[in-house]
Amino acid sequence: MISPHGSDKLNPLFVRDDAQRAQLIKEAEGLHSVVVCSAAAANAVMLGSGYFNPLTGFMNKADALSVSQNMKTADGLFWPVPVLNILENAEGIQPGAKIALCDPNVDGNPVLAIQTVAAVESFSDAEMTGMTQSIFATTDPAHPGVAAFNSVGKIAVSGPIQVLNFSYFESEFPDTFRTAYQIREEMAGLGWEKVVAFQTRNPMHRAHEELCRMAYRDVEADGILIHMLLGKLKKGDIPADVRDNAIRKMVEVYFEPNTVLVTGYGFDMLYAGPREAVLHAVFRQNAGCTHLIVGRDHAGVGSYYGPFDAQTIFHDQVPEGALKIKIYEADHTAWSKKLGKVVMMRDVPDHGKEDFVLLSGTAVREMLGRGEAPPPEFSRPEVAEILIQHYQTEDA
């Protein structure tokens, strides 16, 4: 199985020893506490899960600026986006002290992690603008990632953390949420060495399903990891529980047993296009996968990125050898009326637009809202049924 990023062994920051964790929870009662933003809470979950290996906590200002500009920390570790605990107000927080980080996404704001403060530093307006441009390739406040990044403050509290729980992900998605080390253990138990990962924040339509099969076949993989984002999304995206049900039904009915693991991770979507695609590669490598499918407009939103920018970044900006995981570059996939199967458009140069079953997201949502299933060439009927129920319940 592939080794993790930046180290020989995975080092998740979740405190796995029950007695030690209980002692830290007790200690947290006497610490200065702060309710962090949702993005920082998600970062803590990812650090605890091992997906952000080999980081030991939240980045300082120098690392954040260096990562934004050069995709490497001040000491040279390759990393695509800053991992920050940003606050609006850091009053009472001093370097050297321990603080309790409280969860904004769980009732009562329980302690999520304990942080040992290394530094408390402020970003200037110009530095925030520069980081925003580097990460998202835009400063447009209409971009959901840009809006979220610039809405939580400018004070970075850096330092190592000890993670005490996985927020709401473990309780709300007990069958799906998995840490990087749990995925490694499960794949090892199945005897999988070569694994192709598929990232999704949406339900999987027929083209996605076939894309997984293509990659599985082409790289001669032992298995497929369908790895869905379970955290916060922009308005209008399908909720995680609905997506989870739809994907599980598709796998149950249409994939061979023991060829697919359906899992999820606790992170808020950045919609950062190319930079986020590289981040996706980092944490799939940390989960033990050897290949990541990167398709058209991977992790994008609106028209902020070119259709294949998330592929070209791996050629143009990721130094050779920086990552061990390989990228499976996919074109737009759709059902060919001529061939009677899903194909990559680049593979059928004799086809015109009229030769494919193509539906816009808006058209699909309107059909589902009316209780109509999209054509079976576009969406499996079992998946459509789950989505119809969601849209009709939402509109009721």
Domains held by the chain: number: 2
Residue 105 in this model has a pLDDT that exceeds 90: yes
Catalytic site residue from 11, 70, 109, 202: 202
Nearest to 202 by CA among 297, 106, 290, 289: 297
- Kindly state whether residues 33 and 138 are assigned to the same domain: yes
395: confidence class by pLDDT, cuts 50, 70, 90: low
pTM of the model: 0.95
- Kindly state whether residues 130 and 41 are assigned to the same domain: yes
234: confidence class by pLDDT, cuts 50, 70, 90: confident
In the residue annotation, 202 being an active-site residue is answered as yes
The model's pLDDT over 352-361, given as tens digits with 9 standing for 90+, comes to 999 999 887 7
The last residue of a domain, from among 170, 186, 206 = 170
In the residue annotation, 201 being an active-site residue is answered as yes
Query: Is residue 13 a part of any domain in this protein?
Result: no
Residues 46 and 266 sit within 8 Å (Cβ to Cβ): yes
Catalytic site residue from 178, 184, 201, 284: 201
The last residue of a domain, from among 118, 136, 170 = 170
Residue 396 in this model has a pLDDT that exceeds 70: no
- Kindly state whether residues 165 and 193 are assigned to the same domain: no
Which domain covers residue 123, as residue numbers?
18-170
The last residue of a domain, from among 148, 170, 192 = 170
Contacts 24+ apart (CB under 8 A), 174-177: 176/228, 176/230, 176/244, 176/262, 176/263, 176/264, 177/230, 177/263, 177/264, 177/265, 177/266
Residue 365 in this model has a pLDDT that exceeds 60: yes
- Kindly state whether residues 161 and 67 are assigned to the same domain: yes
- Kindly state whether residues 194 and 279 are assigned to the same domain: yes
- Kindly state whether residues 288 and 238 are assigned to the same domain: yes
- Kindly state whether residues 187 and 135 are assigned to the same domain: no
- Kindly state whether residues 71 and 127 are assigned to the same domain: yes
Q: Looking at 16-25, 214-223, 227-236, which range is the least confident one? A: 227-236
Beta strands in the chain (DSSP E): 32-35, 57-58, 86-87, 98-102, 111-116, 119-122, 155-163, 195-200, 223-229, 260-265, 291-294, 326-329, 333-336, 341-344, 356-357
The model's pLDDT over 163-198, given as tens digits with 9 standing for 90+, comes to 999 999 999 999 999 999 999 999 999 999 999 999
